[in-house]
Chain A
Amino acid sequence: MTTLSKTPDAGGPAGTTEPYLEVSNLTVKFPTADGLVQAVTDLSYSVALGQTLGIVGESGSGKSVSSMAILGLHDARTARITGSIKVGGREVVGLNDAEMREMRGNTAAMIFQDALAALHPFYRVGAQLAEAYKVHHPSANKREARRRAVEMLDRVGIPEPASRVDDFPHQFSGGMRQRVMIAMGLINDPSLLIADEPTTALDVTVQAQILDLLQDLQREFNSAIILITHDLGVIAEVADDVLVMYSGRSVEYGKCKEILSHPEMPYTWGLLSSIPDVTSDPNTRMIPIPGTPPSLLNPPPGCAFEPRCIHKDKVPGDLCATRLPDMRPGGRGAGHLKRCHLADPDRVYQVEVLPEIAPDLAEER
């Protein structure tokens, strides 16, 4: 198994180089008719240039809401955002719209899930790409913007880009549309790219191609990438760091290899157990996490995962139900943070969880 160096790598959760993106105590609330939705609470993480942070969590855990806050994409009149988001050293929480626009699509770009819906159905692909370029290059003329659009389509692997540039989004396949979204995200060479489930709707081969493409482009431009996904398999392949979110909070955060080999939070165990893994031994059990996440309107006072947690009786008293655990280092160094009351989670994982989900791995020990 991987032995983790005690001195954390650059860009890691306790990285030594200056991170490009630094999110601290980010909280996003939406007032609604039913009450205040606490979509994201007290979230902190950082990403350095050239690094990829994977964010995982169930639907509704606040992955999109937290990332959209970085670009200020929430309706300023309704969303209540507190905390700090620093992009390239600059605080963006509280920026006005004009200052925010300067950054959007330029130094920080986002590619969205469901490219068919995210592209305008009535404009040609080339026009949509050219527009993204021209917003931040006002002096560029039509020809230059178009040339740039074709160049980007070529870059993301669209065949015959010079003619496909005049197609409408519906004339592209799902994988090609997702490439168009990536091209649009990268057209102004951003230093930070947020990819919100860029491969969810695609088949496995196309998914692998898209991930390869993102990695290639990252190598080329040395940008910081946030990759949002439900899929821990994807995380294992491309992420340097992993942030696990549950019910609007971070519940585990650390180096990717570390988190995947020594997860310390029962929710992460649940996510690991629920990956259907076709390549491994057929004895492997895929165990879905029972129950559903709590309401974001009235979060429980204790750990949000407590009602679904099968390990809670290992914690003395009703600590899990009454006190929210802090995000703090577990037994494996300062670079690995977890939000759990369990005293020795690594042992529970190795003894109880691993034999269930990956018997062959457990036997090796």
Chain B
Amino acid sequence: MFGFVVRRLLSSFVVILLASFVVFIIFYLGPSNPAEPVCQAAGGRCTDERREAIEKNMGLDKPVLEAYATFMKGVVAGREVTVGSTAYPCDAPCLGISYATGLPVYEELKKRIVPTVLIAIMGSLVYLVLGVVIGVFAAARRGTMGDRMLVSGSLIVSSVPYYLVCLLAWIYLTQQTSIFPATGYFPITENPFTTIKGLFLPALVLGIATAPTYARFTRGQMVETLGDDYIRTAKAKGLNGRGVMMKHALRAAIVPIVTIFGLDFGALLGGTIFTEFIFDIDGMGRWGLFALRSPLDLPVITATVLVGAFFIVFSNLIVDLVYGFLDPRVRLG
């Protein structure tokens, strides 16, 4: 078990390192010259000499490997970053300096990760509970009217584009009416209760919009499990319907559900883009989205992509560990 964790941690680390390298070179070698945004930020066009000077300052004249090494050195030990003609101190872990604000990317990221993580936790709890409950309910009544209504109802909900759901909720529940007046992100350091209240609607919308997917997945897993031989054994013992459903069928069906949940959750942590954008919450998703606007804020984009990759790798690791815990047939070690 311990050996397994160590090995998986090491390989996760390697994966993140590789991801960071790929992300770095994509932006380094990409079609847009990284110096260009700096020129624009400095107010318009640069002369050729000016551009060359900027490129030299930013280390863009160096080979890609050397530039990457400088970047990684900054992550580990901090460095001084030159943007345009200004030099900024950047402490470890240095992910660069945001062109837009001139602040270390890491400092900005620290602020923005909290609302994203909170939305992800609250929203995924909503869709997990809602989805599993509806799915189990439908599976228990498979083939009946109730089942069909739940399945088609969930199809209708999930066929509405997510941004539209978000937008409608925002318009009707925060603007037209004041059912959720104080929606948005209020720093958790001030009043956690207000924070939760402010994120309640966004999380609810995210949860309700995703729940149908989980309901259908749960139903499918349950129906499959209910056909297994050990379910017949459970019935033959004289267990009642609820015991068979909850103790035997759900116990088996929950394993793939947890797997999917973990992976989805990891992806959510990287940024809940629409939710943050529409409810105007300054989280990772919105931050990354805004960084894509002209002028491109390359260090911020790199950082958000890296954080997203980190969360996905991390959630994979957690899923593997939990899987070994949930399924005794999987030998860890």
Contacts and interface: CB of A to CB of B under 8 A. Distances in A.
Contact of A73 (B230, B232, B255, B328): B232
B89 interface: no
Interface in B235-262: 235-241, 243, 247-248, 251-252, 255
A120 B236 contact: no
A174 to B, nearest CB: 14
A131 B234 CA distance: 9
B147 to A, nearest CB: 12
B143 interface: yes
B332 to A, nearest CB: 14
Contacts of A117: 228-230
Contacts of B11: none
A135 B329 CA distance: 26
A136 B238 CA distance: 8
A107 to B, nearest CB: 10
A114 B235 contact: no
B328 A105 contact: no
Nearest to A168: B328
Interface residues of A, number: 31
A119 B230 contact: yes
Contacts of A112: 229, 232-233, 236
B249 to A, nearest CB: 10
Given A120-B251, A121-B230, A135 B237 contact: yes
B10 to A, nearest CB: 29
Q: How large is the interface on B (under 10, 10 to 19, 20 to 34, 35 or more residues)?
A: 20 to 34
A140 interface: no
Contact of B238 (A68, A103, A118): A103
A53 interface: no
Contact of B239 (A68, A109, A135): A135
Given A168-B329, A170-B328, A118 B230 contact: yes
Greatest chain A CB density within 10 A among B143, B240, B326, B328 is at B328
Interface string B283-297: 000000000000000
Nearest to B144: A77
Contact of A118 (B233, B239, B329): B233
A132 interface: yes
A110 B229 contact: no
A145 interface: no
20 contacts: A73-B232, A73-B235, A77-B143, A104-B237, A105-B237, A106-B238, A110-B236, A112-B233, A117-B229, A118-B233, A120-B233, A120-B251, A121-B252, A121-B328, A122-B326, A122-B328, A131-B239, A168-B328, A170-B328, A184-B237
Interface of B: 143, 228-230, 232-241, 243, 247-248, 251-252, 255, 326-329
